Structure 1
Amino acid sequence: MRDAEQTRQKILAISADEIHQHGFKDTSLSIILKRCGISKGALYHHFDNKMELGYAVFEEIYTPMFLAMWQPAVEAADPIEGLCCFFQSMSEEMSCDEVICGCPLNNLCQEMAAVDEGFRLRILNMQQQLNHLIAINLQRVADSLQPNLDFKQVAYFIVSCFHGSSSLSKSTKNKELFDKVIAELCRYIRHLKK
């Protein structure tokens, strides 16, 4: 990998961490520069401004990470159990601090969707990709599921519950709420079976 590309990747990784910790608006370019050990000119060689950097973090770091996180669960032989195992392992393995800090992607969506059209469109695109991933895998096992399910709506409901549990836990600083909502979500998902 070329030095310029390594620098760009380092900027993206550190920016993703800073955005997760502080939110997009409160992320400081000077801290990113310091952590990367680069000049302002080096940063602006790769990104014209903070907004362009934020878009790149969303598209190149958060979206692929988020989709890759869901993919094994929904592509399992039994996506119903795959999703439940995915959610339950997250509930068991995530520390209270991790849950309270929130999902980096969900945090950024809540912060920026209503204030910037570029972020809103990127968020919409990512949500459509995830919805499609879940829906096609539920459709794949449709014969074992309840009749007349609208798989796109089911997928949106599953994702909404997951994000809602994350937001609820973050705002109340209570991991137990996350665990309870996840348990209820798994109960719903399992009831999709015949």
Structure 2
Amino acid sequence: MSLQNRLQDLLKEGQALTDFEYAEAARQNWPLEGAKMKEEARFADSYIERVDKESEEMIQTEAVSFLNTPLTYVKKQPNEFIYIESKWFDVVKVDGLAIEWDEVFQTYTALFGLKRPKKDTGLLKEMLSELNGAQLQFNGQDGLFDINIPLLELENIQEDTPIIDAISAVYRYLFHLILQLENE
């Protein structure tokens, strides 16, 4: 199902889209109309866990207000990563997102599995090459691309950026990525 159809289905279900999504739809000449929501409200339904990196055991679930915490949290807690699920990730073909401090590369990263066919490998490598340090690997077992992107490479993301803004930036990046893949 195309990105346009996924957005249309959400509108039919009575969901609201953000100004970003409506602007992108207008650029593609997609006739989408419906309710609007503020981008910061987009992930209010998120399920959030703090997870131990080594054992991958959940430390604690967190309220959505935790997403207002700055990215530096994961740097200060190097043994943890934050795992986030949201129904909105389905729009960009991702189940969940992990945010962590990568001690090897000394950077904040977002890790996720992207549902795309293996034949997209070349295109994805080319698109991700614009992000210095991005990693891509096809996982044949899950049929997903395991992708790791450095958050500070995304537009307007700094160390003190709230986690919610980093999630929104990843969503916008993936939205453009999916759009580009569908237009190829």
Q: TM-score, normalised by structure 2?
A: 0.29
Q: Which has the higher strand share?
A: 2
* TM-score for the superposition, normalised by structure 1: 0.28
More relative contact order in 1 or in 2 (CA 8 Å, sep 6+)? 1
Say which one has the larger Rg. 1
The structure whose residues are more often helix, as a share, is 1
